[in-house]
Structures are given as structure tokens and as C-alpha cells.
Chain A
Amino acid sequence: MRAEDVGLSQAEYQRILELMGREPNDLELGLYGALWSEHCSYKSSKSLLAHLPNRGEAVVQGPGGNAGVVRLAEGVEIAFKVESHNHPSYVEPVQGAATGVGGILRDIIAMGARPIAVADALRFGTDRPSMQLLEGVVKGVGQYGNAIGIPTVTGDIGFSSTYRANPLVNVMALGVRRPQEAIGAATAEPGQLLVLVGQRTGRDGIHGASLLASRDFDEESQELRPTVQVGDPFLGKLLMETTLQAVKEGLLGALQDLGAAGLTSAVAELCESSGVGAVLWLDRVPLREPGLTPYEIMLSETQERMLMVVPEGNLSRLQAICEHYEILATVIGEVTVGHQLIIHHHRVEEAHLNTTWLVGTAPRRPVDELWWDGLNSSATLDEALPEVPSFSVGLLLKVLSHLDVRDRWSVYRQYDSMIQTRTVLGPGHDAAVLKLRGLEPGIALTVAGPGRWTAVDPYAGGAGAVYRALSALAAQGASPLGLTDGINAGNPDKPESYRAMAMVIRGVADAARATGVPVTGGNVSLHNETQGEPIWPTVIVGAVGRHPRPEEPVRDRLSEVGERLFLLNPAPLNWGGSAAAWTTGQPTAYPRVDGDRARRVLEAVRDWVAAEHPRAMRVIGDGGLGATLVRLWVASEPSLGIEVQLAEKSPQEKTLRFYNESPLQWIAVLAEDDVDRAIAWWTRESLAYAELGRVTESGLCIVDGRYQWAYSDVMAVWHQAYKEVEA
């Protein structure tokens, strides 16, 4: 076997020779190939990610574990993370998406937390095959989440031809644990047993990490279908209950899930983070079919498996739990002193490696600090305002029918969003709100990250995604606890793609630092590139917050005639990468948002909402003010109407105000009696606002007295199911 057969470069191979002082055998080479792959080692992105702020008051566990953990309240911790399953979902959409959900759920479980929510962020092309991919992916997400019984409570869907051959399937999961249930991969001790629990190992997914997820797509990629794994949520459920029971009873020394690169990655990561070695007896691994080679066993990505590290005295109790749940548990090795990973198969030593070579010294691309410092500059910053179409009735309908702006209900109703009975606000709102039993504060969570923004300006788009997510928490009066980021980009060996990814990360880092919210973990998916065409660099930001009164979330609909509408923190008139800009084909760069100001605005809005509890709030989202007004309206009684007066004078300025999508803007809906108090509060906090208008009984939306839409006209466009917009 040659280095390139396992996805390694010649230079990397030379480094292996230096480390080992001999030639690796095929199995050893395979282990290097997997662990030094982009997917497992983050070699291109790790030094960039090191710039993300990850400390904070609420942080219990930062990046590096299977998921980040933050403290929600005394005695309650939240584990959460976003992961991607992009490549597999293109090759096999249903199973690719299903195993994506299963994979991130096991990451949460591996922290000792019980998963209570899933959020999915999806990106597709706009042609017919893309719509079929969408259908398959949604089926897959639902198939796994619905069956294992974890609600999918929120999400984000976007479209562009850039994702045609590289759809994005990013899934965030969130779980809760008590502090005494904390566990991870860093606490294994010599003498403890390695117990493989769950599915029998088969030939599925071999080299998924190194060959499928860490290379660009080409004509041969379809032949990689056998590298996609198959998910079994039924077994996943039993494995989850088994694992959580073992954690609860304190039986485990350490815990690691099996994901990308299977047993190889699980054992190596466990040893490296615990500072121990291991002996494996591969002939003991239960197989689905006879005759798997040590190489296949080590690299199989069979789903629904956990590696438990168990003190010998606890083994029989663990086996009893596994028997109850009718799930296999097999001792396959032992933790040893030192750093040696020794792999036996039928008493033959098949591999002998230092785990530090495999994980600790994996190649890493350095970052030039001067170059990093300059990544936030923008050459097009002072560009004059773009030519935009005059304000018209037709433009709103056009923007509403943009695939990013449409109602997402056709997707969300395929997900069980209510199981576990914590969902107070589910999909279709800016943030989901969960009420935990017997606990005062609840959880608000959201995912955001318009690729349209990063396409125009990766830095501003990265920062914008953070601000958008935090705006959704602020609209609920929720205090942010932590962020997770999913970076999706092209081939990092190409300078433009690498720079774009770096700019996105820089944007996320700057916004997170300015707002004081730590990034506790995340995921990077590179090589989203087909036949030389990279995707728009795209970041999915997930945010988790503490909700002050989850039983009474802030609503996002109109409730009665006479309510007043305000635009909070109106952004400078700008077109950016808004849906309207892309619809008319003229996106422009963004002005930089001042981080300190962003923090002040977010805190002011959060505090005001928490204290005053407005009738309704909605973050200015995809499609801008116009589409956001529509979202408020269509959630309300059809007999209600909206009358809006825009302060802008020229028809072009009106257009820019109505479709501007800049982050950190909200529509606030107030009862007439509350207006004076709200204005006094905003003024005291230097929070800019513009009065928009009021709720009427006309059943119409009227702007400036002359542009007018009927409820049914708007619904007919906004409520359309997803359908291809190009051949």
C-alpha cells in the first residue's frame, strides 16, 4: 500500500518514517491515513480555530472534547455541538443525513449528557436534483431523530446553485447532564478495560474520513457510496439508554464514541487525551460478517458503537445493563501505562505505534499572525450605494418567493419537534425555547449562517452569523451561554479557499470576542468542492442561551388591532448579500459592525425584553424588514393587517430599508399602553429605533399608504413548497 492510497502526501509519509524510524506496515499506514486526514486532524484549520475565544463564566468544558459544556444553572449543565455530514449526504442523502444525526447525538452522550434537542442547518442547490437531495436529507434527519426520540426543534435552510454538488448537512445537538454525570475521554487509567458496546462491526464506511470527507468531489465520488454508513436509530436508542445508565451509576472510567475513522480514532483520541497507552485484541471484536482484516476492523465506521473504559470491578454490572437492553458488550482491550498502542489479532502483533505520533504530532498548518490580523480589512468598504430597484409591490412578492425566504413548514412538519415535552417554541421561530422540568430557567437555542452573506464578504458574513444567532436569543430576553460553529469551505490547499475560510473564522472570532460569548466547540468540513468549483464559504453558528421564563416565551405574532410596530437598531442603508440583492443580482459589500456597539445593543435588547416582555419580537431575517413583517403577519389572525410608514424619502432608500438584512435589527410589537415606557427605556440605553406603524383590522399590509398586499397574495407566495428554480 502506498501513502496516497490512504490519502497521505509524500511529505507526510517522510515525516512518518522519521517518527517511527522504520517503514509502517499497511495497517499502521492506514491508521496514519485516517488520523492525519483533514477530517480527523483539522490540519488546515486547527491553528485558525485556536483564535476563537473559548473561555467564559459559564464554560465547563471548552473545545477539544466530544462537545462543549456550559452551566445552565446550579446542578444542570448543557453539552452541545454542531457537526457536518456533507459529503455522505450528497452520495447517499437519507443515510448520510441520518448517520449525521446519530453521530452528533453520540458526541453529546459521550459527555454523559442526555440529548434533548436537535437543530439542523441545511444548504442545497436550486435545481431539480437538489430538491431530490433535500427530500432525502429531510427524510434522513427525521428518520433518525424521530425514531430515537430526540426532537428537532429548530433549523435553518438555504439555497444557492453553489451547493448543487456539495449540499451542506450540519446538525447541532444539545443535551443536559448533572455535574456528577460529567465524563469524557481524558480520564482513562491503566488497568481499566476497553469495552466495545453496540453494533457488530462491518465493512461499512471504511476510509470515510480520509477518502470521502477529506478530498474534493469528482466523477469517482459516486463510487464511494460503500464508504457511507447505515444508521440504526433503534439500536442507537438502546445504546443511548445503556450508556447513560452506566454513566449514572458511575461505572465508567472514561467514554468515547466511535465516529469518523471508527475504532482507530476512538482509541487514539482516548489514549492521547488520557495520557495512556492501550492493547487491543481485535479478534474479540464482534463482527457482522466473518473475515474482516485487522485493517478493516480498525477503520470501519459502523454506526451505533461506543467505547467504554471500565474498571474491572464494574464489568459485571455493565454487562447486566447491556443484557437488559439486549445490546452487545465485549472487552476488546486494556488501558496501559505509557503511550504505546499495540494491536493484536489472534496473538499476532499487527501494529505497534506511539499514540502521540498519531494524534499529538499530526501535521498542522501554521498561521502567520500578521496575515491573520489583516483578514478583517475590506477593499470595497466605502463603495457607493448600489443601484437598486424602486419600491414596488412586485419586489416583495419576488423576495418572498426566494427559496431562502419561504415558509419552511413543509420540512419542519416532517420532524418530531415535540417529543420529550419540553418544546415551548419549536421550528419556525427565531429561536427554539425549551422548558426543563423542575427548573426555573429554560433553554433558548438557534442556528444561523446565511451563505449569501459570506459569499459577498466572508469576514462580515462570519461575524454576521454570530450576531444573527445572538439577536435571536436577545429577542427572547435570553442570556447567551456559548456558541458552536460549523465551518464549511472548499479545498484548503487552494489559496483563495483557504483565505475565505480564514476570514469566516476571523469574523466569528471577532464577533464572539466582542460580545463576550465563548465558542465551546465546533466542526470544520473542507473539500466542499466539485470539479474545481468550491462552495461559498459557509458558517453555521449555533447559540445556546439561558431563558428567564420559558413558560412565557416572547411571541412572534400580532395579537390585536392597535398594537404598534417599531424597528429596533435600524442598520445603515445597505444592500449587502440580502435575498433581495441576490434576487436582483447586485450584492454589495458590508460595512464593518462595531463589536463594542454590537455588544451594547444585544445587552440592551435582552435586558429590555426580559424586563418588559413586549407583545412580540422578530429578528430581521432572510428577506429583510419586508419579509419579517410578513412572518409576523402570517402567524396572526388573517383579519389583522399592518400599516407601515417608512421614514426614508426616495423610492431607492425605501427599497434599501425594506430589504436590508444587516444583523442586530428587530421588529418589536408593543401594546399601545407600553409605547411610552419602551421609548424611554430605549432612549436611556441609547438604542436607536424607528416607528414603523400599527396593527389594523384591514387584512391588508399597506406601506406608505400606497403599496398594498392582501393576506392571501402574500401567503400564496410565501407558503409555496420548495421547488427547483433552475433546470
Chain B
Amino acid sequence: MRIGVVTFPGSNCDTDTLEALESLDVGVESIWYQDADLAQVDGVILPGGFSYGDYLRSGALAAKAPVMAAIRAQVEEGALPVLGICNGFQILTESGLLPGTLRPNRHGEFRCDWQTLRVVEASPFFPGLMPGELLRLPIAHGEGAFYVPPGTLATVFQQGEAWLQYVDESGLLNAVINPNGSMANLAGIKRGSVAALMPHPERAMADYLGSSDGRRLLSAWLKGIGQEGSYAG
């Protein structure tokens, strides 16, 4: 199995993500954003960072990059597994592969902190991550408030697209621990073979870093890709 990690100009979590994957003994490939060849990979991660500096709107320019056209085609034709992390989430909503948008944090500040997340829905792409399961992962973003137009939030839940939510340490939803003003405390969204989250699993790969729940999440994803085998890359 080989996983591609896309580097846009200004991506800054690409190296961390490649190293996290390597520690899980999977083959990795760094993909420059102008390359559109995904033939060698079984799944793609869009890592965190500030692609293009994000001076327009997080992810807006990256969504138009050559590599995104290739990813879109492979998702639509072959259910290519794609995981967006932080800025990668923003790129996926900007490109329309995931619903909603990510707005600036409601308090107007960048926020770096540990958060507890609860799995809302199981996904065949993350076998073993059961609804109600808790994960402790760091966040680091200035634009992470998930938003969908009024009246459409229920659809997100009904269609099983609500994936992860910010919860307190005991696993309960509450407004106080919402770090950015996200609708329904949503931290992660999925649709088909595409999933994305604002927190950084690649930073939680060992207990000495504060948590190894990122290892659990990424392992589940790799396992899912192995099992699904749906994408014959």
C-alpha cells in the first residue's frame, strides 16, 4: 500500500504527516501540487498548513490546483480514499468534495490546544472507530468554524456526513469546549471515500507527545483502505 501526501506551496504539516505514516509502516509518496499523477497511490492525504499563504480564504487557491482536479476525478470514478487534515479540510470544502465551509474562529484568534473528540458515525474507511469513541487530538487553526447554510445542518447528520464532534473529557457535547464556534461542535466531516478533520492526528502519534490517538485514527484509515481495496491504484 502507498499513501500520497500532497504538498502545496506553504504546506507545513506535510513532513509531519509523511513521518507519521512511515511510523505505521506504510509506503509514502510526496506529491507536489502541480503533479496530477496519482497512479501509484492507494490513498491521499491533504495535510495542514497555509497553502498559498491563505491570504484569500483558507484553501481557496489550493482547491484550484492541478492535483485537485486529479483527486476529484479519482474520487468520483474510483472512490479514492482521501483524508484532509486542517488546511486539507478547508481545501476539500472549497473544492466541493465535502459540504460546508470553514469560517474564521468565532473569537477571532488562532487556537492551539488539546481537544477531545467523539466519533459520531462509523465509516467503512475507518474500521474500528465506533460511534461514541473518544479521541484526544491537538488543534491548531485560525479558521476552523464549520458552517453550513441555515436549514441544512440536519441533512449533514441525516446523510451520515457528521463524523467527529468536539466534546468535553467525559464525552459530552457542550458549548464551552467548542474551540472555534463550529456548528454542532463539528470537528470532522465525511462523504463517501473523502473524510476530513480540523485536529491533527499526525501530532498525536506517541504518548510522549501527549496522546497516541492520532496513531489509532490513521491506523484505522490505513486498515480501511486495505480492506476496502476498492481503489485499484
A binding-site residues for B, Cβ under 8 Å: 139, 142-143, 146-149, 232-235, 237-238, 324-326, 412-421, 423-424, 435, 437, 550-552
Instruction: Compute how far the CA of A181 lies from the CA of B68 in the bound complex, rounded to whole angstroms.
Output: 35
Instruction: Compute how far the CA of A417 lies from the CA of B55 in the bound complex, rounded to whole angstroms.
Output: 22
Q: A146-B110, A421-B203, A552-B208 are in contact. Are A416 and B140 (CB under 8 A)?
A: yes
Contacts of A325 in B (CB 8 A): 9
User: Is B13 in the interface zone, CB < 8 Å from A?
Assistant: yes
- Residue tally, chain B, CB below 8 Å to A: 31
Q: Which one of B45-53, B144-152, B167-175, B219-227 contacts A?
A: B45-53
Contacts of B209 in A (CB 8 A): 418, 421, 423-424
User: Is B12 in the interface zone, CB < 8 Å from A?
Assistant: yes
Contacts of B208 in A (CB 8 A): 424, 435, 550-552
Instruction: Compute how far the CA of A411 lies from the CA of B209 in the bound complex, rounded to whole angstroms.
Output: 21
Most buried by A among B9, B113, B203, B206: B9
Contact indicator per residue, chain B 93-123, by CB within 8 Å of chain A (1) or not (0): 0000000000000000111110000000000
CB closest chain-A residue, reference B50: A147
Q: How far is the CB of A563 from chain B (nearest CB, A)?
A: 22
Determine if B49 and A418 form an interchain contact, defined as CB atoms under 8 angstroms apart: no
Looking at the complex, which one of A148, A324, A414 makes contact with B111 (CB distance below 8 Å)?
A414
Q: 17 other contacts beyond A139-B109, A235-B53, A418-B203, with CB at 8 A cut-off?
A: A147-B53, A147-B54, A149-B49, A234-B52, A234-B54, A234-B55, A237-B10, A413-B109, A413-B113, A418-B200, A419-B13, A421-B20, A421-B202, A421-B203, A421-B209, A423-B209, A435-B208
Determine if A421 and B55 form an interchain contact, defined as CB atoms under 8 angstroms apart: no
Q: A146-B140, A437-B19 are in contact. Are A234 and B53 (CB under 8 A)?
A: yes
Q: A142-B110, A413-B111, A414-B111 are in contact. Are A419 and B53 (CB under 8 A)?
A: no
Looking at the complex, which one of B10, B109, B206, B210 makes contact with A234 (CB distance below 8 Å)?
B10
Q: How far is the CB of B13 from chain A (nearest CB, A)?
A: 7
CB closest chain-B residue, reference A423: B209
Determine if B112 and A420 form an interchain contact, defined as CB atoms under 8 angstroms apart: no
Contacts of B206 in A (CB 8 A): 551
The 7 closest A-B pairs by CB, nearest first: A149-B12, A234-B53, A551-B208, A416-B140, A147-B50, A234-B10, A416-B112
Instruction: Compute how far the CA of A412 lies from the CA of B202 in the bound complex, rounded to whole angstroms.
Output: 21
Contacts of B13 in A (CB 8 A): 149, 419
Most buried by A among B55, B113, B202: B113
Contacts of A324 in B (CB 8 A): 32
Instruction: Compute how far the CA of A412 lies from the CA of B55 in the bound complex, rounded to whole angstroms.
Output: 23
Q: How far is the CB of A150 from chain B (nearest CB, A)?
A: 9
Instruction: Compute how far the CA of A681 lies from the CA of B230 in the bound complex, rounded to whole angstroms.
Output: 63
Determine if B50 and A418 form an interchain contact, defined as CB atoms under 8 angstroms apart: no
User: Is B29 in the interface zone, CB < 8 Å from A?
Assistant: no
Determine if B112 and A148 form an interchain contact, defined as CB atoms under 8 angstroms apart: no
CB closest chain-A residue, reference B52: A234
Contact indicator per residue, chain B 50-80, by CB within 8 Å of chain A (1) or not (0): 1011110000000000000000000000000
Instruction: Compute how far the CA of A235 lies from the CA of B9 in the bound complex, rounded to whole angstroms.
Output: 9
Q: How far is the CB of B108 from chain A (nearest CB, A)?
A: 9
Residues of B11-65 whose CB lies within 8 A of A: 12-13, 15-16, 19-20, 32, 49-50, 52-55
CB closest chain-B residue, reference A427: B112
Determine if A237 and B12 form an interchain contact, defined as CB atoms under 8 angstroms apart: yes
Instruction: Compute how far the CA of A424 lies from the CA of B203 in the bound complex, rounded to whole angstroms.
Output: 11
Q: How far is the CB of A216 from chain B (nearest CB, A)?
A: 34
Instruction: Compute how far the CA of A424 lies from the CA of B208 in the bound complex, rounded to whole angstroms.
Output: 6
Determine if B50 and A233 form an interchain contact, defined as CB atoms under 8 angstroms apart: yes
CB closest chain-B residue, reference A142: B110
Q: How far is the CB of A132 from chain B (nearest CB, A)?
A: 14
Instruction: Compute how far the CA of A413 lies from the CA of B141 in the bound complex, rounded to whole angstroms.
Output: 10
Q: A418-B203, A421-B202, A421-B205 are in contact. Are A147 and B12 (CB under 8 A)?
A: yes
Q: How far is the CB of B157 from chain A (nearest CB, A)?
A: 30
Instruction: Compute how far the CA of A143 lies from the CA of B143 in the bound complex, rounded to whole angstroms.
Output: 13
Instruction: Report 12 cross-chain contacts, Cβ distance below 8 Å, ordered by A residue.
Output: A146-B110, A149-B13, A232-B53, A233-B50, A235-B53, A326-B9, A414-B111, A416-B110, A416-B140, A418-B210, A419-B12, A419-B13
Q: How far is the CB of B76 from chain A (nearest CB, A)?
A: 29
Contacts of A416 in B (CB 8 A): 110, 112, 140
Contacts of B9 in A (CB 8 A): 234, 237-238, 325-326
Determine if A417 and B112 form an interchain contact, defined as CB atoms under 8 angstroms apart: yes
Contacts of A419 in B (CB 8 A): 12-13, 16, 140, 203
Q: How far is the CB of A579 from chain B (nearest CB, A)?
A: 27
User: Is B84 in the interface zone, CB < 8 Å from A?
Assistant: no
User: Is B188 in the interface zone, CB < 8 Å from A?
Assistant: no
User: Is B138 in the interface zone, CB < 8 Å from A?
Assistant: yes
Instruction: Compute how far the CA of A233 lies from the CA of B109 in the bound complex, rounded to whole angstroms.
Output: 18
Contacts of B203 in A (CB 8 A): 418-419, 421
Residues of B184-209 whose CB lies within 8 A of A: 200, 202-203, 205-206, 208-209
Q: A413-B111, A423-B209, A551-B208 are in contact. Are A148 and B19 (CB under 8 A)?
A: no
CB closest chain-B residue, reference A147: B50
Instruction: Compute how far the CA of A235 lies from the CA of B55 in the bound complex, rounded to whole angstroms.
Output: 12
Contacts of A234 in B (CB 8 A): 9-10, 50, 52-55
Instruction: Compute how far the CA of A422 lies from the CA of B112 in the bound complex, rounded to whole angstroms.
Output: 15
Contact indicator per residue, chain B 1-13, by CB within 8 Å of chain A (1) or not (0): 0000000011011
Instruction: Compute how far the CA of A148 lies from the CA of B10 in the bound complex, rounded to whole angstroms.
Output: 7
Instruction: Compute how far the CA of A413 lies from the CA of B203 in the bound complex, rounded to whole angstroms.
Output: 16
Most buried by B among A143, A326, A419, A423: A419
CB closest chain-B residue, reference A232: B53
Instruction: Compute how far the CA of A550 lies from the CA of B207 in the bound complex, rounded to whole angstroms.
Output: 12
Contacts of B54 in A (CB 8 A): 147, 234
Determine if B19 and A421 form an interchain contact, defined as CB atoms under 8 angstroms apart: yes
Instruction: Compute how far the CA of A412 lies from the CA of B54 in the bound complex, rounded to whole angstroms.
Output: 22
Contacts of B15 in A (CB 8 A): 420
Determine if B140 and A418 form an interchain contact, defined as CB atoms under 8 angstroms apart: yes
